């Protein structure tokens, strides 16, 4: 148990280390090592390490100033950690004679076959997964944890070499180390005495730093003899970190030229001979530095391997060159030191040690996609895994799932470790089982063994186990002879590492079918034994040697892509901000592109609202507006489709008539519809899809007359000739389309006749599809008459008074009038307008048409979903309040213009991306609409005016471009006269709605504006709330 105070200290230490690590990743950073060297067991392992480093570099996870090298041991040689150290230093000196004197070098020893940690044998223990998420959303590894812990150490560090063992995890405050003393400095951590028998221990002189003895896995009596037990019952355990100052590093590099040493380091012509030994960093290089070491004892020492003649000769040289070098210790306290040596140790550290996880800031689900039930969340630790499965809730200890994709039911007893597995069907594990799936050249091998099995022990050793059972017991239960597993091998090599247990299969599923029964062969299904015996079987050693590195890395990359895509989708489903979801896709450009394509494929199978949010999030992730366009296209189709489902007679589509008598054409007859404008007092934007579809809306608005008249007019008239004439009187423009394609181009928002064209298609007067070259005259000739459609308004463009939507409603109503149809039901009418705006790609919600086509002051709400079902509540105010509102509510034209389409896209795009500020603003605006209604009904004009000002502040947060310096100045100018002010509609120009402090202030403000802004369009416009918003009429030919 780690004391709470120590946990707090180390948590802060990690935060400090993390900050330095992040700083080291910046392009111009001064933080980090000059050079980092990784040693590897052979060239194949070195190639894997280089690919791992390249992978990180592409993701921006490598310290910018650090150069990385990987050095493999010579083929067929075991030169030891000491030999690898001298060999690396020698190579560095030959490449740059001044490197060791000037640079800060990190040397990580990471060779070896990881026999006691088989699932790491291929990638190396150095790249064993750790349950922490890196900045790129990738799962960390032991290597990455070294970078985190050690990056900050270099700030005040002199030139020298820090040698690190690649199978330890160390959490400490980097500020505890300075390496200011010369010579060699070992780094120790205070640990309980019982840990001594598993590690190296430093014995020091009194309360100083000088090393008296270096003890190799000492027993209690040896600790006592060297007085290595401290007063608090702890010992100084070697952490695997050793500092060599520059002169010492240079001397070691020079020793690579001394023949007895060079031979053992494979640096001389004699290197090809079997040296029968290697050099160990501690037993051969550091041991002679300890004060108590005697030459005779040193030469004969065999704690780290046989003292062969070649080893003794090299030790003679090492003693002569290194004896007398200062050897001291720096103590890390508090610190967490954990050795990753065996499968059980690894599982214990990553899945079962809650104190370690709390200290290190580890999580139980890292870079993974899994949504467990609450009761099961702690029973599985997932690292870089995709789990779309149920799992047994009564397991006694957690399962550790790494680099795996599990799509079927999962169960286990005791503990479990699942690595590299892709399983579509059920995966059932016994007690304390490991499953590791490996791609080889011709297929796959699933390696199954016990969590506590030691692969290095001969099967005859009483401690040797397979599947947690003594080998004799397992072989008897399997009715199998040893020679079936170890044909032709000498007894000492008959280990689990060399046992040919695992059948080669063409597919992952088959490899699991053939290997999982090894857990309990006597219970295997009929026919399994024959299939197992008929296949070529590989041992752990052979599958390690034959592992296909390319396939392994491709599978890992593909899995990371799938996990990232799935986590992105889960975030979108949970309505997380798009920026937050985007981070889950990683930083590397090519990988992000692949993952976005996977997301898009999945979105195609999802519902429209998920597609809308998902495509918008992809637009954020890729900074590509094409995805945003796709999101809005889905929205348009959704609204149009709902319009067709609920109102098929009015839906856009092929022409509905083929004979003249099917249309009630009265030659020369005209239909005219006049409509009000609207002012939006509160809640604007909550009516706009997709927000209104997902959350519902609430709007307070009113229909208004301008200058005593309804300001919007649409007129339609049958012509005697098969011609189509479209007119827009407010801009004095006329067009006569001659081909169908000219009409079907209604989605062009810059076309002043887009509304006319879309209305004709929606009412099926013209077909919604067909050959674009078809003459309009040919289509109208079937009717026998042509059509003139005219629109007009006295409202300036970009007014913010809902002109476009209201005119769309008036146009549809006018065409219905012309066709002899009665007024459409209100809900159908409003739904058609919403569809029409989506056809035109201008977007928009329902408040404009409700505001301008329903008379009076009203509070309108909608429930989520389609079709949008509106509840329109007319507001009845006391006569005194009504009079005050009429006198104190002003409409001021700003003279500025702004079209709403791009603004609609901008604001709703931010909602679709679930930007937190936009969510808060829209929720606030919806609530404001209700509060404003309540203030009016109480007759509280002061409160109402203040709420109008609050609304304007929220509008500016939603879209800073809804104002400009001119508008800001105008609002400031009006402030002495007003309680509150906001721009109508989307803002950015048009009209300002103002509530004055008193009725007299309304007159004063009008006069002040006329004086201040004379010679400009800025002025107060006369208006009145219109009790009747729409006037329909049929005008006979004589009229």
Q: What is the side-by-side order of every strand in the sheet holding 399-402? A: 365-366, 380-383, 399-402, 410-419, 427-440, 443-450
User: Rounded mean pLDDT of 389-412?
Assistant: 85
Q: Is 764 left (phi over 0), alpha (psi -120 to 50) or beta?
A: left
Give residue 873's pLDDT: 97
pLDDT higher than threshold 70 for residue 656 = no
User: Rounded mean pLDDT of 134-146?
Assistant: 93
Q: What burial class does residue 600 get, using C-beta atoms within 10 Å of its C-beta: 0-12 exposed, 13-18 middle, 19+ buried?
A: middle
pLDDT in tens, 148-197: 999 889 888 999 999 999 999 888 988 888 898 999 999 999 999 999 99
pLDDT in tens, 876-898: 999 999 999 999 999 999 999 87
pLDDT higher than threshold 70 for residue 651 = no
pLDDT higher than threshold 60 for residue 467 = yes
Residue 481 burial (CB count, 10 A): 9
Report the SS3 class of residue 301.
coil
Using CA of residue 925, residue 929, residue 932, residue 938, what is the dihedral sign?
Answer: negative
CA distance 875 to 617: 40
Mean pLDDT over the full length of the chain: 91
Give residue 1039's pLDDT: 45
User: Rounded mean pLDDT of 842-860?
Assistant: 93
What's the CA angle centered on 931, arms 946 and 904, to 5 degrees?
Answer: 85
Residue 900 confidence class, pLDDT cut points 50, 70, 90: low
C-alpha distances out from residue 53 to 37, 68, 113, 386, Å: 11, 8, 19, 24
Q: Closest by alpha carbon to 632, among 907, 828, 868?
A: 907
C-alpha distances out from residue 580 to 60, 423, 914, Å: 18, 30, 10
pLDDT in tens, 28-43: 999 999 999 999 988 9
What's the CA angle centered on 873, arms 869 and 875, to 5 degrees?
Answer: 160
Give residue 640's pLDDT: 80
Report the SS3 class of residue 78.
coil
Give residue 648's pLDDT: 40
Give residue 1's pLDDT: 54
- In order of start, what are the domains of the chain with their CATH numbers? 4-338 (no CATH), 364-547 (no CATH), 575-644 (no CATH), 648-872 (3.30.230.10), 879-1024 (3.30.70.890)
Q: What is the secondary structure of 562-599 as a DSSP string?
A: HHHHHHHHHHHHTT--HHHHHHTT-S-HHHHHHHHHHH
C-alpha 163: how far from chain center: 35
User: Rounded mean pLDDT of 380-390?
Assistant: 89
pLDDT in tens, 972-1031: 999 999 999 999 998 889 999 999 999 999 999 999 999 999 999 999 999 999 999 999
CA distance 101 to 98: 5
pLDDT higher than threshold 60 for residue 808 = yes
Residue 71 confidence class, pLDDT cut points 50, 70, 90: very high
pLDDT higher than threshold 90 for residue 313 = yes
pLDDT higher than threshold 50 for residue 305 = yes
Residue 304 confidence class, pLDDT cut points 50, 70, 90: confident
pLDDT higher than threshold 60 for residue 674 = yes
Q: What burial class does residue 156 get, using C-beta atoms within 10 Å of its C-beta: 0-12 exposed, 13-18 middle, 19+ buried?
A: exposed
Give residue 392's pLDDT: 61
Q: Closest by alpha carbon to 559, among 439, 450, 442?
A: 439
Q: Closest by alpha carbon to 785, among 833, 880, 721?
A: 721
Give residue 645's pLDDT: 43
Residue 1038 confidence class, pLDDT cut points 50, 70, 90: low
Q: Closest by alpha carbon to 839, among 643, 680, 699?
A: 643
pLDDT in tens, 591-608: 889 999 999 999 999 999
Residue 3 confidence class, pLDDT cut points 50, 70, 90: confident
pLDDT in tens, 679-696: 999 999 999 999 999 999
Contact (Cβ atoms closer than 8 angstroms) between residue 838 and residue 764: no
Give residue 662's pLDDT: 42
C-alpha distances out from residue 861 to 625, 775, 807, 821, Å: 32, 45, 22, 29
CA distance 45 to 124: 8
Q: Is the peptide bond before 378 cis (omega within 30 degrees of 0)?
A: no
User: Rounded mean pLDDT of 404-409?
Assistant: 94
pLDDT higher than threshold 90 for residue 370 = no
Contact (Cβ atoms closer than 8 angstroms) between residue 896 and residue 966: yes
């Amino acid at each position: 148990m780690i004391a709470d105070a120590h946990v707090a200290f180390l948590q802060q230490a990690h935060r400090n280390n993390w900050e330095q690590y992040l700083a080291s990743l910046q392009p111009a950073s001064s933080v980090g090592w000059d050079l980092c060297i990784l040693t590897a067991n052979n060239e194949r392992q070195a190639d894997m390490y280089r690919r791992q480093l390249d992978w990180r570099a592409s993701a921006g996870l490598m310290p910018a100033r650090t150069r990385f090298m990987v050095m493999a041991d010579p083929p067929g040689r075991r030169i030891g950690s000491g030999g690898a150290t001298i060999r690396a230093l020698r190579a560095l000196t030959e490449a740059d004679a001044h490197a060791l004197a000037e640079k800060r070098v990190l040397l990580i020893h990471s060779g070896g076959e990881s026999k006691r940690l088989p699932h790491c044998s291929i990638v190396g223990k150095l790249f064993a997964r750790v349950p922490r998420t890196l900045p790129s959303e990738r799962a960390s590894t032991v290597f990455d944890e070294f970078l985190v812990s050690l990056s900050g150490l270099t700030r005040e560090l002199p030139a020298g070499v820090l040698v690190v063992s690649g199978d330890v995890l160390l959490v400490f405050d980097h500020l505890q180390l300075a390496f200011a003393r010369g010579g060699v400095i070992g780094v120790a951590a205070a640990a309980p005495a019982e840990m001594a028998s598993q590690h190296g221990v430093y014995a020091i002189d009194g309360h100083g730093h000088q090393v008296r003895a270096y003890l190799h896995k000492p027993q209690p009596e040896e600790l006592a003899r060297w007085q290595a037990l401290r007063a608090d019952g702890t010992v100084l355990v070697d952490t695997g970190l050793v500092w060599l100052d520059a002169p010492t590093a240079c001397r070691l590099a020079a020793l690579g030229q001394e023949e007895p040493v060079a031979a053992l380091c494979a640096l001389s012509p004699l290197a090809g001979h079997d040296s029968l030994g290697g050099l160990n960093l501690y037993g051969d290089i550091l041991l002679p530095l300890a004060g108590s070491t005697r030459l005779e004892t040193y030469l004969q020492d065999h704690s780290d391997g046989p003292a062969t003649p070649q080893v003794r000769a090299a030790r003679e040289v090492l003693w002569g060159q290194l004896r007398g070098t200062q050897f001291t210790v720096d103590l890390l306290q508090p610190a967490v030191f954990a050795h990753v040596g065996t499968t059980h140790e690894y599982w214990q550290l990553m899945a079962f040690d809650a104190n370690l996880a709390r200290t290190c800031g580890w999580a139980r689900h890292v870079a993974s996609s899994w949504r467990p039930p609450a009761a099961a969340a702690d029973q599985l630790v997932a690292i870089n895994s995709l789990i779309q499965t149920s799992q047994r809730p009564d397991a006694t200890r957690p399962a550790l799932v790494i680099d795996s994709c599990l799509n079927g039911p999962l169960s286990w007893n005791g503990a479990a470790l699942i690595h590299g597995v892709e399983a579509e069907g059920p995966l059932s594990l016994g007690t304390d089982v490991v499953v590791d799936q490996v791609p080889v050249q011709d297929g796959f091998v699933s390696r199954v063994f016990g969590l506590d099995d030691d692969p290095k022990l001969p099967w005859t050793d009483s401690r040797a186990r397979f599947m947690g059972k003594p080998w004799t017991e397992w072989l008897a239960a399997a009715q199998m002879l040893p020679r079936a597993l170890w044909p032709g091998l000498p007894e000492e090599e008959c280990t689990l590492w060399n046992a040919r247990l695992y059948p080669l299969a063409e597919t992952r599923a088959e490899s699991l079918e053939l290997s999982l029964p090894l857990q309990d062969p006597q219970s295997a299904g009929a026919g399994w034994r024959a299939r197992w015996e008929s296949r070529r079987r590989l041992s752990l050693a052979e599958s390690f040697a034959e592992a296909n590195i390319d396939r392994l890395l491709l599978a890992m990359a593909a899995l990371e892509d799938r996990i990232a895509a799935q986590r992105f989708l889960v975030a979108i489903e949970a309505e997380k901000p798009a920026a937050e979801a985007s981070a889950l896709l990683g930083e590397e450009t090519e990988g992000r592109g692949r993952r976005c394509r996977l997301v898009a494929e999945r979105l195609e199978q999802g519902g429209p609202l998920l597609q809308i949010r998902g495509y918008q999030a992809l637009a954020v992730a890729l900074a590509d507006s094409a995805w945003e366009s796709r999101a809005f296209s889905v929205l348009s189709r959704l609204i149009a489709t709902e319009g067709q489902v609920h109102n098929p007679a009015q839906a856009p589509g092929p022409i509905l008539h083929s004979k003249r008598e099917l249309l009630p054409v009265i030659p020369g007859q005209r239909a005219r519809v006049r409509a009000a404008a609207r002012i939006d007092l509160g809640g604007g934007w909550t009516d706009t899809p997709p927000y209104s579809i997902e959350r519902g809306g609430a709007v307070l608005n009113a229909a208004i007359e301008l200058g005593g008249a309804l300001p919007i007019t649409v007129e339609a008239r049958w012509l005697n000739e098969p011609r189509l004439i479209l007119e827009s009187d407010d801009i004095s423009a006329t067009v006569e389309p001659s081909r169908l394609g000219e009409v079907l181009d209604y989605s062009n928002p810059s076309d002043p006749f887009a509304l006319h064209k879309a209305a004709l298609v929606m009412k099926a007067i013209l077909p919604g599809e067909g050959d674009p070259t078809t003459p309009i005259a040919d289509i109208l000739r079937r009717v026998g008459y042509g059509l003139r459609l005219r629109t007009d308004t006295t409202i300036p463009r970009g007014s913010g008074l809902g002109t476009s939507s209201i005119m769309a409603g008036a146009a549809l109503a006018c065409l219905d009038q012309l066709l002899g149809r009665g007024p459409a039901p209100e809900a159908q009418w409003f739904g058609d307008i919403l569809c029409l705006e989506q056809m035109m790609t201008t977007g928009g919600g329902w408040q404009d048409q409700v505001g301008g086509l329903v008379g009076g002051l009203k509070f309108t709400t909608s429930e989520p979903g389609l079709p949008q079902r509106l509840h329109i509540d007319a507001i009845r105010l006391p006569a005194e309040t009504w009079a005050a509102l009429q006198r104190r509510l002003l409409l001021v034209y700003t003279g500025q213009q702004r079209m709403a389409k791009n603004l609609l896209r901008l604001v709703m795009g931010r909602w679709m991306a679930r930007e937190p500020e936009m969510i808060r603003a829209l929720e606030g605006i919806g609530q404001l609409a209700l509060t404003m209604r309540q203030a009016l009904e109480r007759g509280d004009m002061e409160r109402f005016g203040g709420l109008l000002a609050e609304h304007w502040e929220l509008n500016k947060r939603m879209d800073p471009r809804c104002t400009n310096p001119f508008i800001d100045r105008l609002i400031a100018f009006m402030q002495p006269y007003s309680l509150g002010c906001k721009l109508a509609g989307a803002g950015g120009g048009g009209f300002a709605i103002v509530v004055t402090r008193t009725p007299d202030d309304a007159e004063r403000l009008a006069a002040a504006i006329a004086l201040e802004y004379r010679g400009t369009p800025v002025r107060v416009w006369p208006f009145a709330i219109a009790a009747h918003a729409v006037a329909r009429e049929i005008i006979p030919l004589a009229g």
